Each structure stands twice: as C-alpha cells, then as structure tokens.
Amino acid sequence: MVTPQRLLAGERAPNASFVTLRGETIALRDLRGYPVWLSFSRFAACPLCNFRVHQVTGQWEQRFAGAKLRHFMFFQSPPEKLERYIATHAPPFDLVADPAMTHYRAFAVETSLRKVFALDAVRVAGAAVAAGTVVGAGPDGPITRIPADFLIGRDGRIRVAHYGETIVDHVDLDEVVRFVEAES
C-alpha cells in the first residue's frame, strides 16, 4: 500500500469544502483571515477520541474563548453516530462527519497498526475510563486510523502539520494557543 505524502508546514492547505454537523457549508478558502484548526480523529464511538473531545471542550473557555479560532473536528463516522457519541459533549467547536474519508485522504491522514498498540494509549485509556468517556460500539472506517491536526494561518498556509505517533498523539493545546496568538 502506498502511503500518501504528508503535508508540510508552509504549504497551502488543500482547497477543502465540507458540511458541519450543524449543516453549515464551509470552504477553507472562505476562512482566509481566520486561524483554523483542523483535527482528524478516528471514529465517533472511539473512547480515546471521546476523551480528546472531553479534554478540548473542558479547556476551551480558558484557552480559546474570545479567540477568532475556527476549529473543525473530523470523524470517519456518519452524522448519526456523531450525534449519538460526540455531540453529547456539547463541544464549542464544529464537528464534521467524513465517512467517505475524502478529507482524510486530502490531508494524508495515516493508518498504522504499529501506532495503535503504543504504550501511551494504555495510559490515556485509563484516563478516558476515569472521565467516563468510554463507549462501546464498533468502528467506522479503519481502526488503525492515527489522528492528525493542522493549524492553518490566516493566509491559508499550514503553520503546523501534526501527524500523530500513536492513536492518542494530538497537537498540544499550548501549541494551539501559541498559534492563535501569533495569528492575532
């Protein structure tokens, strides 16, 4: 299997258009002038992905309230599963269902069996259980999906392309804060 080439900082972000769970049609080119954070997660019932939503939602007010940041979190699940498993967290950012994985391909989001079984996933799984974010439904799309995050500047260029080293490796929220400050 050929692995798509990773996107790099400094490159122009792909000209993506998508529909949020709220029904808003978004074209990245129309967001020029705003800092944009795209997160690519696994599937809606993934307990580790639910925990990430829980973490970001819990820190949003403190870290990003008042910022002009547009954040979109993609899942390889259909909209009804996002409603059932993710929207219940009431995230203050937009959710995007991408069961065809069109945008996963456009951003070269990876899959890796080796990265799924990394030891830090066990630690985060324990934290997910403690936070009550564990759900028990099967995956939509590849279970070997590895998260990725892209911080896109007001000019449409990628500032940070973070490809996870494990299924729990996301861009650090402190890095997102620094990005937002630099783009303000």
What total of structural domains would you count in the chain? 1
The per-residue b/e assignment along 103-138, b for 16 or more CB within 10 angstroms, e otherwise, is: bbebbbbbbbeebbebeebeebbeebeeeebebeee
Is 41 among the domain residues?
yes
Helix axes 120-131, 47-64, angle to 10 degrees: 70
Positions of the chain with pLDDT lower than 70, given as ranges: 1-3, 118-137
Phi, psi for 74 (deg, rounded to 5): -95, 145
- Please give the residue range of the domain that contains residue 117: 35-183
| pLDDT reported for residue 114 | 83
| pLDDT reported for residue 31 | 97
Q: Is 158 helix (H, G, I), strand (E, B) or coil?
A: strand
Is 50 among the domain residues?
yes
| pLDDT reported for residue 75 | 97
| pLDDT reported for residue 97 | 98
Is 15 among the domain residues?
no
Report pTM.
0.90
Is 28 among the domain residues?
no
Is 97 among the domain residues?
yes
Is 22 among the domain residues?
no
**CATH assignment of the domain containing 116:** 3.40.30.10
Query: 94-126 pLDDT, tens per residue?
Result: 999 999 999 999 999 999 988 877 656 656 666
CA distance 90 to 113: 31
Is 122 among the domain residues?
yes
| pLDDT reported for residue 113 | 86
Is 86 among the domain residues?
yes
